[in-house]
Amino acid sequence: MTAGNINDFPSHLVARHLNKAGDMRILLLCTTLLAACSALDPKSNSNSNPDGGPVFCPTPSPVSNLPYTAGESGVLQFAWDSFVGQTLDRPLATGAHARFTVAPNSLQARTFTSDNPSVASLGNDGFLDPTIVGHRAGSARITAYDADGKALDGVTIHVADIDGIAFAGDWLGDPGPTVVVGTTERMRIRLLHGTTELVGWGATTFTFDAPLATSEQSLAPLESLPSTEEVFFVAKASGSGAITATAGSATTHLPVAAIAVGGIDQVQLTVTPGTGCRRQVTATLSANGKRVFGPRCTWRVPAGATVQDGQLDVWFDTGGWPGDHPDQLDTFTAMQAGVFDLRCEILGGPSAPLSITVGP
């Protein structure tokens, strides 16, 4: 199998990168950001402000170059739709589901079959891309067909048993994260076969020790982690709890500390220097010198500017949740040149000011 780049990215990217519950907030974020910045591009729109003047704001193009596995006939390219890694030489976990994408779109692969459904079968979760379900360790050949039933190409996928599991994250020397009561958080789980991280979700069971409890994905920070095992939880009160994860023959425990929002005593804001209409804004929450994961900033923004969740020019990377970096990432967009005085407010906690200057 060879690796390369998919140049004609599938047109239904946004649909696939909605979270596994079909969270429409991501679609709205993408649409809002692209529409706003496209309208500000002076090459396509002559709109200007008589006070601050126009601002150069090219349309961002953050998505390109997925790794892929070439089909056996060289007609199609296949890739796991996975945060863990896209080439199909990375195995699917036993008991897990994962979606994969096919390019180029112009050939319109419509149906798929498996020559070994006891190892890997085709599922349907309502998305345009096919879903593969791993049943036992082994290999299976997946064949893609067009609307007339003509075989277009095939590729072999592998399924591996889970013998290791770990919570993904770096808590700066602590055994686990510190979270804020009442804020739903998300954690990524690493499913392992030996040292190889596996693709897929749905193979893990979770239990929670009080004050932690399960929560809804729609309440968690936005992030694009397709075909990746995750858990969503909330602390119901201050104190210490734990999450236990079991998959295959492996079990792991994660201690979690919880504090009240009033315990947050610092909000540190930084802005990445740049040109044009957009800036990367970072917010970090701390309590007694320890970084914590908590509610996102509620931004007070003057007229002529917006702030959207997410890292600048990166699809759906918001940060600020356990398993990722504790820094919350937001994108500031100016409609005109000028000085903009913003404020980040943590509801029930502290606030902090930030000034951003945008030149013409």
Q: Indicate if 348 and 275 belong to the same structural domain.
A: yes
**Containing domain of residue 336, as a range?**
262-358
Largest CA distance in the chain: 67
Gyration radius of the chain's alpha carbons:
22
Strand partners, 179: 258, 293
Q: Indicate if 142 and 21 belong to the same structural domain.
A: yes
- Asked if the structure places residue 127 within a domain, the reply is yes
Q: Indicate if 227 and 316 belong to the same structural domain.
A: no
Domain edge (last residue) among 111, 145, 160: 160
Among the residue ranges 58-72, 149-163, 212-226, the one predicted with the least confidence is: 58-72
Give the distance, in angstroms, between the CA of residue 333 and the centroid of all CA atoms in the same chain.
21
How many C-beta neighbours within 10 Å does residue 125 have? 12
- Asked if the structure places residue 1 within a domain, the reply is no
Q: What is the DSSP string of 180-194?
A: ETT--EEEEEEEEET
Q: Indicate if 57 and 119 belong to the same structural domain.
A: yes
Q: How far apart are CA 66 and CA 68, in angstroms?
A: 6
Q: Indicate if 238 and 318 belong to the same structural domain.
A: no
Q: Indicate if 71 and 138 belong to the same structural domain.
A: yes
pLDDT class for 129, splitting at 50, 70, 90?
A: confident
Query: Does 65 score more than 60 pLDDT?
Result: no
Share of the chain above pLDDT 70, in %: 76
- Asked if the structure places residue 99 within a domain, the reply is yes
What pLDDT score was predicted for residue 10? 35
What pLDDT score was predicted for residue 26? 37
Domain edge (last residue) among 160, 188, 213: 160
Mean pLDDT of 182-205: 95
Q: Which of 95, 96, 92 is nearest to 20 (CA)?
A: 96
Q: How far apart are CA 140 and CA 151, in angstroms?
A: 16
- Asked if the structure places residue 7 within a domain, the reply is no
Is residue 47 within 8 A of residue 54, CB to CB? The reply is: yes
For the chain, what's the residue count?
360
Query: Does 351 score more than 60 pLDDT?
Result: yes
For 324-343, letters b (16+ CB in 10 Å) and e give bbbbbbbbbbbbbbbebebb
Q: Is 231 left (phi over 0), alpha (psi -120 to 50) or beta?
A: beta
- Asked if the structure places residue 6 within a domain, the reply is no
Q: Indicate if 287 and 221 belong to the same structural domain.
A: no
Mean pLDDT of 253-266: 96
What pLDDT score was predicted for residue 225? 74
Q: Indicate if 274 and 220 belong to the same structural domain.
A: no
Residue 294: which CATH number? 2.60.40.10
Domain edge (last residue) among 261, 295, 311: 261
- Asked if the structure places residue 4 within a domain, the reply is no
Mean pLDDT is highest, among 80-84, 131-135, 306-310, for: 131-135
Q: How far apart are CA 146 and CA 51, in angstroms?
A: 56
- Asked if the structure places residue 3 within a domain, the reply is no
Q: Indicate if 150 and 50 belong to the same structural domain.
A: yes
- Asked if the structure places residue 8 within a domain, the reply is no
Sequence letter at residue 348:
G
Q: Indicate if 194 and 291 belong to the same structural domain.
A: no
How many domains does the chain contain in total? 3
Q: Indicate if 213 and 149 belong to the same structural domain.
A: no
Cis peptide leading into 177, omega within 30 of 0?
Answer: no
Query: Does 18 score more than 80 pLDDT?
Result: no
pLDDT tens digits along 132-189: 999 999 999 999 998 899 999 999 999 999 999 999 987 878 889 999 999 999 999 9
How many C-beta neighbours within 10 Å does residue 111 have? 12
Q: Indicate if 235 and 269 belong to the same structural domain.
A: no
Residue 30: which CATH number? 2.60.40.1080
